[in-house]
Amino acid sequence: MSATIAQAPARKWRFSLSQEWLLLIGIATLFIVVGLINPRFVASRNLQSILLANAYVAVAAIGMSVVIVSGNIDISVGSLIGVLASISGALAVAGVPVFFAWAIPVVISILVMMLQGALVAYLRIPSIVVTLGMLSILKGGLISVTNGVWISGMPDSFHLAQWHLLDLFIAAEPGKQAAVPESLSALKPMFDLLTMPVLFMLFLTLGAAWWMRNTAKGRSVYAVGGNAEAARLCGIPRERTLMMVFAVHGLFTGLAAVLFATQPSVIQSTVPPNLELTIITASVVGGVSILGGTGTVIGSTLAAILIAAIGSALIFVNISPYWLRAAQGILILVTVLADIYRRRQRGLAR
Amino acid sequence: MQSNSKPPVLALDGITKSFPGVRALKGVSFDVAPGEVHALLGENGAGKSTLIKIMSGVHTADTGTIKLDGREIAMTGPHEARRAGIATIYQELLLFPELTVAENVFMGHAPRTKWGALDWPAMRAKAQVLLDSLDIHDLDVAQVVGTLSVGNRQRVEILRALSQDARILIMDEPTAALTEHDVQRLFAIVRRLRERGVSIVYISHRLEEIFILADRVTVLRDGEHVATKAVKDTDNADLVQMMVGRRIESLFPKIDVPIGAPVLEVRDLVRMPQTRGMSLTVRAGEIVGLAGLVGSGRSELAQTIFGVTPAQSGEILIGGQKVSVRSVADARRLGIAYVPEDRGIQGLVRPMTVRENASLAVLSDVSRHGFIQRETEEKLANAAVRQFGIRTAGIEQIVNKLSGGNQQKIVLGKWLATKPKVLILDEPTRGIDVGAKAEIHRMMGELAGQGLAILMISSELPEVLGMSDRVLTVREGRIVAEFSRAEATQERVAEAMMGGTSHESSAA
């Protein structure tokens, strides 16, 4: 026996956890540690509000991750979400059928993103410049169109983000939570978590991850982001691929905007400050290389959850929420260091 | 000539160096005499780079001594190396493209006025003196470096080394990216430096250069010192055997195969400004070599045939049928494959795995309704690894970690997966070591034997002459000469490449 063991090659322990597993461990650690300090942090009410309030960030980060994998970036996404939310609310208040109040902003989002994509793909303007321009246009436009007035008085059915899973199956007044049947009451906390934004987040993340991994189109995004010239010589045109990337990004941004707009009863004419940076942070911390060519959307969604949980945790351990930015910064640095370490191992250093 | 009796100016003894997981050097000794060209040979991974990095202070040796003029010195960093008069010219030239020749030469040690400001007139004058001392008359010290050719940029690097009074110049594959003409000029400069007493450590994969230029040669293999010999006491076969540790029967294993009907015909192809009416024919089983200087229009012709830059006029025929190639996708569908010149920039997607790279040109073939069939893809990748003997931990290995030769085999495999009729190879063996080179040449022969029509572009004349059934010479966007295998000699092809004007003595 001992002889066979001695013959086994000495296997050196290697740090080879994927970013996704690291994030899961990080999230679990955070909940355990902060939960021990303040048990109310892990109460299902708090989990629900963390997820509910931030699911749209994760949805937007999916699109952002696709864009970054393709070797680009979009810093207009935050202000676009703000504009789309106002449009959505205004349409609902004007009496447009609720479905169109949701769908029209999504279509606009896809068109705006494809316009930006065309500038990047065909005119070869760096995406950071294109989206910086769009950011200014949208920010200025939003304020002058809405005059800074908040939008309210949308019909109850408009508030998609307040729906629960059960509302889909059990007729209940939208916006009001359906009564959970007696037989399922044990599962009630779980159903509470599955609000519409969380369902969107789960399905869109898994769907996008599957698309990126298993389709020729998804593969072409990695190819163009990893080496556009090599991809072109393989018959994968950079231009068309980038148009597709921005259209996909537009779809996710539009959906994120609808989730953002339909959650509160009043739509402010502003979005959380630096929303685009939070979204980009989620992508980067999720393991998407800022150089393009690598990363997954599962990572970015986990990172969005981690960032949201840190924000909430700061409150529960009585640290000023202003430190959230600093915490995000530390996360980025740790991620980049881990990334450098992994790239060295794979011989990708530099 | 040089004698080995002169005491060495730089002597390394018993150098070992380990990196995590690798012992790069195992007790290597190396020395260089004043006014000597000492060639350093070895396959990729043999330890050449590590050794020159220790000489230039980039790495510190784990054990061993370094003596300068017989006195032991502590080489603790690049700064010490510079003070000792050791300068290194790396493959990737480290210049500032936005600055002028003079500014680049004196970067970091520019002449100052007594007020401490940069002394521009003195800088320009000194740079001019250096230029004159090397007999370089076509380079202006006020030119911006980014606009210069690779050959001229390399001269700027040499000037920079000389401006720091370098006594020992280490050149890492200086001819890898040079045209034949620039190579000759580089040789002239190296000889001139040697006459002045500068010692040169010369690294190259091209054995013929060693016989032209070097006085002694040291061969490394797997981090160990194999031998140091006077060049006159060795020959090609001997060096190759020392490098690879076994005999390679022939570097260019050209096998004669029956040549069939024309597969690719190109007539009066025009794509301005680089392709100005070129015609050629490649037959089944034939390897046609395309020789020419960099910039003569060789690669541009290939890219026009492949649809990257579609032709403006002229005809392309595949198997006798007139076809229209407007895009890479068209070319692919017609059975044309193009293995590009620079595998890092144009061939591979580095962050991707072997599997993902192998299937990239046939994504639509391994997909059904847009969904990649993982099993089909894995089969394809495994087949490529087996067929080409790609040395990899597996198909999920990230390609960037593989050696140049293995990377090139993946690019080749990727294109052969498209089942082409015409294979265009652009510099198929640039920068890869002798062993892998021989394997790729053997594969080319086999592919021709299977009836593939191969068009090969190469800057290495021995490769063109060794592998081709016919040699076409390109100059200024036109095909200017054609030689059968029997007619093609180094002199005739080179003369056609240069336009018959170049009669400078090539020491070959």
Residue A26 belongs to domain with CATH number: 1.10.3470
Residue-wise over B71-99: b if at least 16 C-beta within 10 A, else e? eeeebeeeebbbebbbbbbbeebebeeee
The residue of chain B with its CA nearest to that of A344 is: B401
Q: What is the pLDDT of residue A63?
A: 97
What residues of chain A lie within 8 A of the CB of B345, using their CB? 227, 229-230
Asked if B76 reaches chain A (Cβ–Cβ under 8 Å), the answer is no
Please report which confidence band the pLDDT of residue B439 belongs to, taking 50, 70 and 90 as the band edges. Answer: confident
Instruction: Give the closest-approach CA distance of A113 to chain B in angstroms.
Output: 24
Asked if B332 reaches chain A (Cβ–Cβ under 8 Å), the answer is yes
Per CATH, the number for B10-244 is 3.40.50.300
Alpha helix positions (H), B318-373: 328-333, 354-358
Q: Chain-wide mean pLDDT for chain B?
A: 87
Q: Chain-wide mean pLDDT for chain A?
A: 85
DSSP assigned state of B207: H
Please report which confidence band the pLDDT of residue A328 belongs to, taking 50, 70 and 90 as the band edges. Answer: confident
Residue-wise over A44-79: b if at least 16 C-beta within 10 A, else e? eebbbebbbbbbbbbbbbbbbbbbbbbbbbbbbbbb
Instruction: Give the closest-approach CA distance of A227 to chain B in angstroms.
Output: 5
What residues of chain A lie within 8 A of the CB of B367, using their CB? 215-216
Q: Show Cβ contacts of residue A27 under 8 Å, excluding neighbours closer than 6 positions.
A: A302, A305, A306, A309
Q: What is the pLDDT of residue A349?
A: 45
Q: Is the pLDDT score of B500 beyond 60?
A: no
The residue of chain A with its CA nearest to that of B362 is: A234
Q: What is the pLDDT of residue B265?
A: 95
Mean pLDDT of A60-73: 97
Q: With contact defined as beta carbons under 8 Å apart, do B215 and B231 qualify?
A: yes
**A1 in a domain, yes or no?**
no
C-alpha torsion B347→B350→B355→B357, nearest 10: -20
Task: Mark which residues 448-487 of B lie under 8 Å from A by CB.
Answer: none
Residue B140: Cβ within 10 Å count: 15
Asked if A325 reaches chain B (Cβ–Cβ under 8 Å), the answer is no
d(CA B122, CA B104): 14
Residue type, A1: M
Q: With contact defined as beta carbons under 8 Å apart, do B142 and B129 qualify?
A: no
Please report which confidence band the pLDDT of residue A5 belongs to, taking 50, 70 and 90 as the band edges. Answer: very low
Q: Is the pLDDT score of B505 beyond 60?
A: no
Q: pLDDT for A122-150, tens place per residue? A: 999 999 999 999 999 998 887 777 777 78
What residues of chain A lie within 8 A of the CB of B372, using their CB? 214-216, 219
Size of the A and B interface in Cβ pairs below 8 Å: 85
Q: What is the pLDDT of residue A182?
A: 64
The residue of chain A with its CA nearest to that of B346 is: A230
**Block residue for tokens 């508030």:** A159
Nearest to B350 among A214, A219, A226 (CB): A226
Asked if B398 reaches chain A (Cβ–Cβ under 8 Å), the answer is yes
Please report which confidence band the pLDDT of residue B508 belongs to, taking 50, 70 and 90 as the band edges. Answer: very low
CB contact under 8 A, A233 and B308: yes
CB contact under 8 A, A232 and B308: yes
d(CA B339, CA B388): 15
CB contact under 8 A, B361 and A226: no
**A256 in a domain, yes or no?**
yes
Residue type, B493: V
Alpha helix positions (H), chain A: 2-7, 19-37, 44-69, 77-93, 98-121, 127-146, 165-169, 188-193, 196-214, 216-226, 228-233, 238-261, 275-285, 297-316, 323-345
Q: Is the pLDDT score of A183 beyond 50?
A: yes
Q: With contact defined as beta carbons under 8 Å apart, do B387 and B395 qualify?
A: no
Mean pLDDT of B387-414: 86
Q: What is the pLDDT of residue B3?
A: 46
d(CA B417, CA A159): 53
CB contact under 8 A, B370 and A217: yes
Q: Is the pLDDT score of B11 beyond 60?
A: yes
**Block residue for tokens 């800088």:** B123
Beta bridge partners of B13: B65
Q: What is the pLDDT of residue A14?
A: 44
Structure tokens at A187: 């599962």
Mean pLDDT of B124-149: 87
Structure tokens at A15: 């740090």
Mean pLDDT of A79-86: 93
The burial of B125, by beta-carbon neighbours within 10 Å (0-12 exposed, 13-18 middle, 19 or more buried), is given as middle
Q: Show Cβ contacts of residue A200 under 8 Å, excluding neighbours closer than 6 positions.
A: A55, A59, A255, A259
Nearest to B347 among A215, A230, A293 (CB): A230
d(CA A80, CA A112): 9
Q: pLDDT for B160-186, tens place per residue? A: 888 888 999 999 888 877 777 888 889
Beta-strand pair B199-203/B168-172 = parallel
**A238 in a domain, yes or no?**
yes
**Block residue for tokens 């290597």:** B28
Q: What is the pLDDT of residue A166?
A: 64
Please report which confidence band the pLDDT of residue B281 belongs to, taking 50, 70 and 90 as the band edges. Answer: very high
DSSP assigned state of B347: I
Domain coverage including residue A315: 16-176+187-344
Q: With contact defined as beta carbons under 8 Å apart, do B435 and B405 qualify?
A: yes
Asked if A217 reaches chain B (Cβ–Cβ under 8 Å), the answer is yes
Residue-wise over A98-133: b if at least 16 C-beta within 10 A, else e? beebbbbbbebbbebbbebbbbbbeeeeebeebbee
Domain ranges of chain B: 10-244, 248-335+420-508, 353-414
Beta-strand pair B262-271/B313-318 = antiparallel
Asked if B350 reaches chain A (Cβ–Cβ under 8 Å), the answer is yes
Q: Is the pLDDT score of B506 beyond 50?
A: no
Task: Mark which residues 228-247 of A lie under 8 Å from B by CB.
Answer: 229-236
What residues of chain A lie within 8 A of the CB of B330, using their CB? none
Nearest to A235 among B329, B346, B398 (CB): B329
**A162 in a domain, yes or no?**
yes
- The pTM (predicted TM-score) of the whole model is 0.77
CB contact under 8 A, A226 and B360: no
Mean pLDDT of B340-358: 88
Q: Show Cβ contacts of residue B223 under 8 Å, excluding neighbours closer than 6 positions.
A: B23, B24, B25, B26, B28, B46, B47, B50
d(CA A229, CA A218): 17
Asked if B418 reaches chain A (Cβ–Cβ under 8 Å), the answer is no
Q: pLDDT for A221-271, tens place per residue? A: 999 999 999 999 998 999 999 999 999 999 999 999 999 999 888 888 777
Integer angstrom CA distances of residue B155 from B427, B448, B507: 24, 40, 20
Closest CA to B193 of B243, B137, B238, B134: B134
| Three-state secondary-structure class, residue A266 | strand
Q: Prior bond to B273 cis, omega within 30?
A: yes
Q: Is the pLDDT score of B501 beyond 50?
A: no
CATH number for B248-335+420-508: choose from 1.20.950.20, 3.40.50.300, 3.40.50.1100, 3.50.50.60. 3.40.50.300
Domain count, chain A: 1
pLDDT-wise least confident of A202-206, B363-367, B448-452, B491-495: B491-495
